[in-house]
Amino acid sequence: MTEIRKPYISGHFEPTTEERTATGLTVHGSLPPELNGRYFRNGHNPRPGVTPSHWFKGAGMLHGVRLADGHAEWYRNRWVRTPYLDGVPFTGTELEVSAAATNIIFHGGRYLALQEANLPWEVTAELDTVGAYDFGGTLTSAMTAHPKVDPATGELHFFSYSPFPPFLTYYVVDAAGTVIRSTVIDGAGPSLMHDFGLTRDHVVFLDSPVVFDHAEPSGIPYRWHDGIPLRIGLLPRAGGAPTWFEFDDPAVILHVGNAFTDERGRVVLRAPKFDRSSWESSWKWWTGAPGYAPTPNIGATHHQWILDPATGKVTEESLDDLVTEFPAINDDYTGSTNRYSYAVGFPGAGLDSYHTVKFDHRTGQRQLFGHGDGRMPGEAVFVPAAGGSREDDGYLLTIVSDLRADASQLLVLSASDLTAGPIATVELPQRVPAGIHGSWIDDEN
């Protein structure tokens, strides 16, 4: 009998089997001279012979490209060597046994690989594993894989969620890396809370119909429950209790594009939206259940939610009908009104291949860059251009998996004009499996 491989370890997601280092990478086009730093990306890459029960349970592997002075100096890939990687006996806490496979950030002088059910794991600038990191003993719960940096203060904002009380705890870490605030948030439920929003005045929390369910067999113990609405909580950053807004249309928001306060004092949240059908179709792919969808995302579309703290009124609007995920913005606009956002466009709803998408929220228009047959881009990371004055003056960095060529490239696209095609293409020494999230870490950080 022919073995049917799970979708999350097949095709674009086929794990690589070795760690490699390559120097002097070939560059087509010209790398912008201000790109001096490291592009790091995280993703699930189980050991050979290991088939996790859920996409999210694969061991973490980091991929990095070092750019400097118009050259691509090196590529490295390394597993994050946590106890989870080999399943070896471990005497530490459960919080330390992390796949560390979702994101990687740099804050307070440390590179941190993140997975939301556990503590961060620190790695070096060359991607070697240092160990679990708890902010000097001040973090005693898990940390979300989607922290936000306040551009005005340099503070890192994040949360911890749990299936057991307290369900939600909010943290603030100063620019030097010290926890300066820890607050239990009232009113949250035991829901899967992957991301959140941050405005200048509020922290925006997401309570969804996907809640803790010990009967879920995949090892990720959450499942959609009818009758539970989408709830969005606004916590004043100045202090006070959260206000929870309930929406009639049940939905899941996995990733947030941005949140901000508009000129009328209303909080606007933009994000891809999963309804029940698109969530459950995607979950089948993530678990490899019978009848799974052809792609990891089978229907999330770009929406915005508007919440008025003064009146309690809530509204929801569809912004575009493309199937998209992995929203990104110019991070200098985190918490402020922004005109542009970027995303990965999935096949479906008019697209027959993967695209990088740019949304113009002022005009309602979009730009598309098609990557071609057999090619899948990752999340687009925005890097500001030197001397830029406009919001979209910058570059988008993404790693592309090319199945036909069994290869990968790091693309540098113009954030102001996707239709111009790549400014530069860096050839990588192996095909990099499609992954999750990453960061550009400038040498000046």
Which tens digit of pLDDT belongs to each residue from 65-90? Answer: 999 999 999 999 999 999 988 766 66
Tokens 């911890």 -> residue: 160
| Domain residue spans of the chain | 11-145+383-445, 196-370
| Residue 12 in marked binding region | no
Average pLDDT over residues 257-264: 97
| Residue 63 in marked binding region | no
| Residue 194 in marked binding region | yes
Judge contact between 5 and 44, C-beta under 8 A: no
Helix ranges, 182-254 (H)? none
User: Which residues are 267's β-sheet partners?
Assistant: 261, 307
Say what the pLDDT of residue 90 is: 66
- Percent of the chain whose predicted confidence (pLDDT) is above 70: 98
CB within 8 A of 18, min separation 6: which ones? none
Q: Which of 165, 171, 274, 271 is nearest to 212 (CA)?
A: 165
Which tens digit of pLDDT belongs to each residue from 287-317? Answer: 999 989 889 988 999 999 999 999 999 999 9
CA pair distance 161, 205, nearest whole angstrom: 11
CA pair distance 269, 305, nearest whole angstrom: 5
At 179, list the tokens.
């926890």
CA atoms in the 13 A half-sphere facing the CB of 84: 29
The amino acid that residue 200 corresponds to is: R
Residue 240 CB neighbour total at 10 angstroms? 9
Residue 293 CB neighbour total at 10 angstroms? 20
Largest CA distance in the chain: 63
Judge contact between 194 and 161, C-beta under 8 A: no
User: Which residues are 168's β-sheet partners?
Assistant: 161
Work out whether the CA dihedral 281, 432, 424, 104 comes out positive or negative.
Answer: positive
CA pair distance 123, 129, nearest whole angstrom: 4
CB within 8 A of 165, min separation 6: which ones? none
| Residue 28 in marked binding region | no
CA pair distance 66, 441, nearest whole angstrom: 10
Average pLDDT over residues 396-424: 97
Residue 33 has pLDDT above 80, yes or no: yes
Task: Output the DSSP codes for 6-67.
Answer: -GGGSGGGPPP-S--EEEEE-EEE---TT--EEEEEEEE-PPTT---SSGGGSPEEEEEEEE
C-alpha to C-alpha distances, 316 to 25, 302, 433, nearest whole angstrom: 46, 11, 35
Say what the pLDDT of residue 17 is: 96
Say what the pLDDT of residue 3 is: 55
Judge contact between 358 and 340, C-beta under 8 A: yes
Plot region of 317 (φ>0 → left; ψ -120 to 50 → alpha; else → beta): beta
Say what the pLDDT of residue 417 is: 97
Say what the pLDDT of residue 348 is: 85
CB within 8 A of 139, min separation 6: which ones? 119, 171, 179
Judge contact between 306 and 358, C-beta under 8 A: no
Q: Which of 165, 238, 233 is nearest to 205 (CA)?
A: 233
Say what the pLDDT of residue 444 is: 86
Judge contact between 154 and 331, C-beta under 8 A: no
Judge contact between 81 and 61, C-beta under 8 A: no
* Average pLDDT over all residues of the chain: 95
Average pLDDT over residues 48-77: 97
Q: Which of 285, 278, 216, 289 is nearest to 253 (CA)?
A: 278
CA pair distance 409, 288, nearest whole angstrom: 28
Helix (H, G, I), strand (E, B) or coil at 159: strand
Average pLDDT over residues 146-170: 97
User: Which residues are 158's β-sheet partners?
Assistant: 171
Which tens digit of pLDDT belongs to each residue from 233-255? Answer: 999 999 999 999 999 999 999 99
CB within 8 A of 132, min separation 6: which ones? 82, 92, 95, 96, 98, 118, 119, 120, 121, 122
Residue 423 has phi, psi (to 5 degrees) of -75, -40
User: Which residues are 38's β-sheet partners?
Assistant: 66, 441
Say what the pLDDT of residue 88 is: 63
Say what the pLDDT of residue 89 is: 62
Residue 320 CB neighbour total at 10 angstroms? 19
Residue 254 has phi, psi (to 5 degrees) of -85, -45
Q: What is the pTM of this model?
A: 0.96
